[in-house]
Structure 1
């Protein structure tokens, strides 16, 4: 296959036309419901809003989970990390948060990175079952997609979320999960022969996540007071929160919800360790 330059920057369709759809990392529909009819496109790489364009977070974003809403409340425009080992219910917490936005006028974007196709299909079915697809967008770069697609997916998702943020509306974006995103980026970097650093990740792996998460913000009244809330998910290995990617993302986000295997298996679900979870 030949590679040709288009001389265009990477853009994805945005606006109400994408709501209710399942798309790939390039913003192309993969749900078999036909083309997306819109004239509105947005660059996937945008600068995050500056200090003067922001406002401190003051409205709550109810997740519908008592342990979160009472002890580690999330505000509109906040970035809250959901962290825990595999099979501790991280995705469930995120999906519950989406379902709970029904009637709240919040557009939800679920970005699946490196997940099994069957898992994503299950999520879409669950959202349809609760009528949540009416205000949601699902972006899927599955495990069978190339590393480049998995790397692009969250940026495509945030571009769609930013459209609503900049049009005085509220959006919620979930990245599931950024550990796999970092692994995809590591693969690309090693192929490009960039020098590896800690855990063989490239030196700019912090920057790829910080520039992504800084785009979630609560805008000031002059800019329309819209918001984009981010719930990134990170999978730990054997509860090791001090590994490279978990510590990076904990330092970028405004708090974390820490899920524990022991609590999960003792029947406490959602398995939130309220001692280690914080909301700043």
Structure 2
């Protein structure tokens, strides 16, 4: 049955009323040059710095140089399909990445896209990769410890939530292992971890992800990788993308640990892009704004005040040195931006002292504020003991006649070095650290053979955990040392059980523990 004239008339009126005359205008430019991961395009008069641009083949780029005649674009993907004469259009959006809880447990690239084969990430939240750092009044002082589970760091160069602590050293000195152990130790600490791998082999990143899975650390971690095989723009962008993801959690009152492994490769990628974009090189062929590259990134790590939720981002950037030269351009830049550095020394590493922490060159500008009261009490003299031991060791290698006081200092120093050694992925709770440092600094270990210290330490943790859990609970609850008589009694009791000849260091016949 046909429609009546009135019905047709009312339908037409409805259509007219609902009609919106919207004209969509895309600003489109033309590619004038392309090569080595960058492109130049003219016709994009209103492009913004950092704006996302789309090429005709669907690949995205980011506006990096806004010049009089054209726009310098870094290409965020394969550039082989882009040729001169192609069109490129503005999106009107500043470069952004997906963020939120759905990212946890995933391995993603610099654009926040999953590369772990586990399907799409279900999140609609986005954050710009570049954002202003929190202002002075938005922050508060660092006062909460971020326990790494590594004795040498927690005692000598403690890290607090909201701090930026640089890890610096030659390649193959254990920098990545240190970061992975710190992430493993955050289990149950209410901290989300983001590991940003820059310029590493994909097989290396894969093995790190497998280690994190094995220890259950991927349950609270995000791995962001821009591997060595990817274009330089993605290596340059990776740390900023990681920080955007971290800020989403920080501004929601959560604590985040972010590791940049490493910024030397990011600086090299940025230098490559800058020279291709014809920016004038300065010292060591780096562009003049390479300091700003890292400072605007690391300043975004902060401990927010309580009015903003009290969340934090703790940043651990890595810098690789050449032959231990910390006075080179990039190392000095990043040292001046961060709140201290952990220097890993090749000589120590190859002599079996691992982690290879150089106590004289490592420093934390937050210091005791990032330690619990108990740790402050037992580790106060450790750095001085270690420094004077190194000096004495160098001095006494030329002579054999030593007075008793010097001999005692050397004995304590050797034991301090031994106790600070730690196995790979063997993180130690802060309560156990406090107890072993108490035993060390109060002379309980002075009569124990150095070769037996490793076994002593391991069995001591087991003994206290099984027989005297109340001491561990007291340290965890009060953050302070229990009564010294109580600790002394427990240590003496264990030493008696450990071996009968503990008081005679020259006697090598030890009796096994009777636990």
What is the TM-score when the length of structure 2 is the normalising length?
0.54
Structure 2 distance, partners of 1:5, 1:279, is 45
The one of 186, 191, 198 aligned to 1:113: 198
More helix by share: 2
Structure 2 distance, partners of 1:66, 1:207, is 34
Q: 2:208 aligned with 1:123, yes or no?
A: yes
Q: Name the SS for the 1:4 alignment partner.
A: strand
Partner residue, 1:41: 126
The one of 251, 254, 260 aligned to 2:339: 254
Structure 2 distance, partners of 1:50, 1:89, is 34
Q: 2:311 aligned with 1:236, yes or no?
A: no
Structure 2 distance, partners of 1:197, 1:125, is 41
What is the deviation of 1:241? 0.3
Structure 2 distance, partners of 1:256, 1:204, is 22
Unmatched 5+ stretches in structure 2: 1-81, 366-515
Q: 2:119 aligned with 1:31, yes or no?
A: no
Q: Name the SS for the 2:93 alignment partner.
A: coil
Partner residue, 2:188: 103
Structure 2 distance, partners of 1:150, 1:27, is 13
What is the deviation of 1:272? 0.5
Partner residue, 1:189: 274
Runs of 4+ deviating beyond 4 Å: none
Partner residue, 1:75: 160
What is the deviation of 1:11? 1.1
* Aligned pairs for 1:7-22 within 5 A: 7-22=92-107
Q: Name the SS for the 2:343 alignment partner.
A: strand
* Aligned pairs for 1:116-155 within 5 A: 116-155=201-240
What is the deviation of 1:60? 0.1
Structure 2 distance, partners of 1:13, 1:119, is 25
The one-character-per-residue Cα deviations of 1:79-103 (angstroms, maximum 9, x if unpaired) are 0000000000000001110000000
Q: 2:73 aligned with 1:6, yes or no?
A: no
Q: 2:330 aligned with 1:245, yes or no?
A: yes
Q: 2:170 aligned with 1:85, yes or no?
A: yes
The one-character-per-residue Cα deviations of 1:128-172 (angstroms, maximum 9, x if unpaired) are 010000000000000011010000000000000111111000000
Q: 2:305 aligned with 1:220, yes or no?
A: yes
Q: 2:150 aligned with 1:65, yes or no?
A: yes
What is the deviation of 1:10? 1.0
CA RMSD of aligned residues (A): 0.6
Structure 2 distance, partners of 1:5, 1:123, is 38
Structure 2 distance, partners of 1:93, 1:72, is 13
What is the deviation of 1:7? 2.0
Deviates more, 1:3-12 or 1:247-256: 3-12
Q: 2:260 aligned with 1:175, yes or no?
A: yes
**Larger-Rg structure:** 2
Structure 1 distance, partners of 2:364, 2:96, is 33
The one-character-per-residue Cα deviations of 1:19-42 (angstroms, maximum 9, x if unpaired) are 000000000000000001011111
The one of 154, 157, 166 aligned to 2:251: 166
Deviates more, 1:209-218 or 1:34-43: 34-43
Q: Name the SS for the 1:212 alignment partner.
A: helix
The one of the two structures with greater contact order (alpha-carbon pairs below 8 A, sep at least 6) is: 1
